[in-house]
Amino acid sequence: MTQLRRAWFPAVVLAITVAELLAAVAVPGVDQFDGKGWPVRLVAYPALMLAAPVVWWLAVGRAADGRAAPPYAAFGLVMLPFLSDTTANWLDLFRRVGWWDDLSHALHWALLGAGLALLLAPSVRPRWVLVPLVGGIGAVLALGWELGEYALFIRDGKEAGGAYRDTLGDETLGTSGALLAGLLVERWTARRLREPSSDDGPAAAPPDVASAP
């Protein structure tokens, strides 16, 4: 029952994102959705959001035979950028707020990096490797995201003229956000490991940080 209560976070994020994607595809004539590849996003976003739970189950959950608690908080953090992106398009923030695109790239990759770091932290040794590992994954994902944007709506769209400069900035912000998230999670998990047990005895066993609620 406790695990079901923790599952509400990623479940709600996924459900709202899918609902917004369906509405974006179904509602005609919305100017901010024009030429943004929403039918592709309707398929790609849920698939990418479910990738972390599926990979975790294949790599850990199946072998643990129910003994390992699913890291729902990490799943939710990985999913949040997709909800934020879809909601921001509904609110037309990318066109109405000049700095929103830069903020979203830094913040989205920080959330994504935090989720990935929580998933990887229990198995990465030495612990400091978590920071460059998450930063490197974030850089690769930022490049993949920019390639996807270019193929979907920049190559033949209105934004083609400034695409190169914008892409470099977005990749830098995304990589920086992922690096910062990796550093924060590495410091947080290291502190958790140093905390003594409540009875002032030896240090408590390392917690499964990826299973934090």
Q: Per-residue pLDDT tens for 91-148?
A: 999 889 989 999 999 999 999 999 999 999 988 999 899 999 999 999 999 999 888 8
Banded pLDDT at 207 (limits 50, 70, 90): very low
Q: How far apart are the first and last CA of the chain?
A: 13
Torsion angle of C-alpha atoms 93, 96, 99, 100, degrees rounded to 10:
0
Q: How many independent structural domains does the chain possess?
A: 1
| 143 within domain boundaries | yes
- Of the candidates 115, 107, 111, which has an alpha carbon nearest to the alpha carbon of residue 173? 107
In this structure, are residues 36 and 152 in contact, taking their beta carbons and an 8 Å threshold?
yes
The Cα 2–Cα 205 span in angstroms is 21
| 19 within domain boundaries | yes
Q: Per-residue pLDDT tens for 6-61?
A: 899 999 999 999 999 999 888 877 777 777 788 889 999 999 999 999 999 998 87
| 199 within domain boundaries | no
| 141 within domain boundaries | yes
| 97 within domain boundaries | yes
The Cα 136–Cα 125 span in angstroms is 16
* Residue 61 amino acid letter: G
| 202 within domain boundaries | no
| 201 within domain boundaries | no
| 205 within domain boundaries | no
Residue-range definition of the domain harbouring residue 169: 2-193
